[in-house]
Structure formats: structure tokens, C-alpha cells
Amino acid sequence: MSKNRRNYGKMPLTKGIEMASVYSVKECGHRARHIVLSPENKMITGEFLRIIDMKDQFAVHDVPVPNKMMMFGPPGTGKTLTAFHLAHQLELPLVTVRLDALIHAHLGETGSNVRRIFEYARIEPCVLFMDEFDAVARTRDNNDEVKEMARVVNTLLQCLDEFPEHCIFIAATNLETELDNAIWRRFDTKMVYSNPAAELRLEYIRRLCGDFPSEPGLQEWASEKMEGCSYADLEQIILKAKRKAIIDNIPLSRLLIDLSIQEYRPYHLIAAQG
Ligand SMILES: Nc1ncnc2c1ncn2[C@@H]1O[C@H](COP(=O)(O)OP(=O)(O)OP(=O)(O)O)[C@@H](O)[C@H]1O
Ligand SMILES: [Mg+2]
């Protein structure tokens, strides 16, 4: 474990339970350094940060500042990365909840774990981040399998309502339609993520290639070739191609990108093949 990251278990409120990892402001900045946001999400995050920066003026007008953000969209599109980015911008540590540790075989325990983690965030200034939020915030309507889960959702609702303005809560999910309606409307800020369209794909490929020696026109070609890929796919494919280039001591080429796509097998291509 890096020295920047501590386990929740070692913190004052934990009572020995390891439910989260904490990332320092510096580590958050490092992780999010290549982030590419869509113009809409850039606007939303920019406004969110600006409002928090202007808190005092909002207090004068008795307008609450936003502090609960929900991010949804397919895998590998930058939801978790945005949490790192925001924590860095806010100069707060990021506390990411480990769901495997939070969800207990006895759901009563899960409820108290939820309370404990929110309690921690109230006391230690941080950005609290819950990934795969659907695991704890699933709709209560058709949740027959585990009636008890409805209680966890109720606990979560209470925690969200009591969450003070100076704390920031961020949740992310791929399954937004399965979230409980009451939970959904507790979030004042929502951000939609998707696989990058042509322009953002090219921007990200340019960042990934940096000044690595490449055939002329490679980045534009690669961007068209990798239509339908997520950011995470693009990163993995370009890294694979770079490794091949380094081994053979040659520039990045169309051939290396093609080989890397075949080896990496992006999900949308596999799905298309049936
Ligand atoms: N918008 C983006 N800008 C830059 N890099 C990105 C972006 N989205 C994804 N990546 C790259 O892919 C990796 C995985 O992204 P991230 O964990 O943010 O995806 P996610 O949307 O949270 O996915 P999941 O739904 O699977 O949790 C990142 O560490 C980063 O390297
Ligand atoms: Mg994620």
C-alpha cells in the first residue's frame, strides 16, 4: 500500500473495520491528471466547484450549495476518475468505500456500516465516494429477494438527509434505472457518462501517445479505428501497442495498434461477434 493511502481500519472511528481507502489530495491529482470530460460534464463540474468556492455568498442568500453528485454511464468512461479529479480540485482527501466490506451477510450490520461511514465523513473533511452504488441503493419496489435491503435503503436516505453541507458525497453506478426513486432525487447534481465520440476519442489518444514516436497520421487513424471503445479500452490498447513498440524499438504504427486491438478484444467487438 502506498504511503499516501491509509486504511479506514486505522482511523479513529473505525473500530477495526476496513471499509474504505483514503487517497491524499496529491494522489488524487496524480490519478486524474489525464482526465477528459465531455463539454457538458466539464461545465457541471466547473460550476459545482465554483459554487463550493463561493459558499459564503450562497449562505448570505440562504441558497444551499450542492454536495451530492450522482454519476452514471457505462464502464470505463471516467466516473471513478472524476471523483479523484473533484477531490483534488477541492483539496480534500478521497474516501472510497469498499462495498465488499460494507455489505454484510447480516443486513442489519450493513445498515450500521452505512451509518458509520457517513459518520466518519461528517467528522473528517473529505469527499466520500461510493462506487457501484446500486448495490446499496436498489429500488425497494421489486426487491422481494431481500426485504431487509429496504431497511438499508431507509438508512441510506436518512444518512443523505442528515449529511451536512460542508461534506461532499459522490455515488457512481452503471445501473441507474435500478436505483430507488427516493434516493435518486436526493442528488442535486447528476452527470451522464458515455463512450467518447470522435473528437474526445482523438483528444484522449493524443494525450495517451504524448510525444511517443509514431507513424505520421497514426492518431487520427487510431481514433477512427477504435470507434465504440471506452476510454479504458483506448488506454489499454495504446499501452499494449507502446509496449510492443518498445520491445521492437520501433515507432507506434497501424500494425501495432491492429495487433493490440485483436489481443485486447474490446467488449463491444466481442459482443458484436456474438
Ligand atoms: N474520461 C476519461 N478520461 C481519461 N481517462 C479515462 C476516462 N475514463 C476512463 N479513463 C481511463 O480508464 C480507467 C478506468 O476509468 P474509471 O475507473 O474512471 O471508469 P468508470 O467509469 O468508473 O468505470 P466502472 O463503471 O467500471 O467503475 C481510468 O483509470 C483511466 O485510465
Ligand atoms: Mg468506477
Q: pLDDT digit string (tens) for 147-180? A: 777 888 999 999 999 998 888 999 999 998 889 9
Instruction: Calculate the average pLDDT of the chain.
Output: 89
Q: How far is the CA of 148 from the centre of ligand 1 (A)?
A: 33
**Residue range of the domain that includes 84:** 5-192
Considering the domain architecture, whether residues 173 and 134 belong to the same structural domain is answered as yes
Number of domains in the chain: 2
Query: Residue 238 CA: which ligand is closest?
Result: 1
Considering the domain architecture, whether residues 169 and 227 belong to the same structural domain is answered as no
Considering the domain architecture, whether residues 89 and 161 belong to the same structural domain is answered as yes
Q: Is the pLDDT of residue 110 over 70?
A: yes
Q: pLDDT digit string (tens) for 222-270? A: 999 999 999 999 999 999 999 999 999 999 999 999 999 999 998 887 7
Site of grid cell 443486513: 107
CA distances for 34 relative to 78, 85, 121, 126, 179, angstroms:
10, 10, 27, 22, 30
Average pLDDT of span 95-111: 82
Side by side, the strands of the sheet bearing 5-7 are: 5-7, 20-23, 94-97, 127-130, 168-173, 68-72, 189-192
Q: How far is the CA of 76 from the centre of ligand 1 (A)?
A: 4
Q: Is the pLDDT of residue 144 over 70?
A: no
231 ligand 1 Cβ < 6 A: yes
What pLDDT is attached to residue 274? 62
Coil vs helix vs strand at 182: helix
How far is the C-alpha of 171 from the C-alpha of 181, rounded, in Å?
Answer: 15
Q: pLDDT digit string (tens) for 176-229? A: 888 999 999 999 999 999 999 999 999 999 999 999 999 999 999 999 999 999
Considering the domain architecture, whether residues 169 and 202 belong to the same structural domain is answered as no
> Which of 192, 214, 244 delimits the end of a domain?
192
What pLDDT is attached to residue 109? 83
What pLDDT is attached to residue 267? 83
Considering the domain architecture, whether residues 237 and 266 belong to the same structural domain is answered as yes
C-alpha cell at 31: 490519478
Considering the domain architecture, whether residues 181 and 244 belong to the same structural domain is answered as no
C-alpha cell at 19: 471499509
Q: Which atom of ligand 1 is nearest to the CA of 81?
A: 18
| CATH number where 20 lies | 3.40.50.300
Considering the domain architecture, whether residues 43 and 174 belong to the same structural domain is answered as yes
What pLDDT is attached to residue 156? 93
> Which of 140, 162, 192 delimits the end of a domain?
192
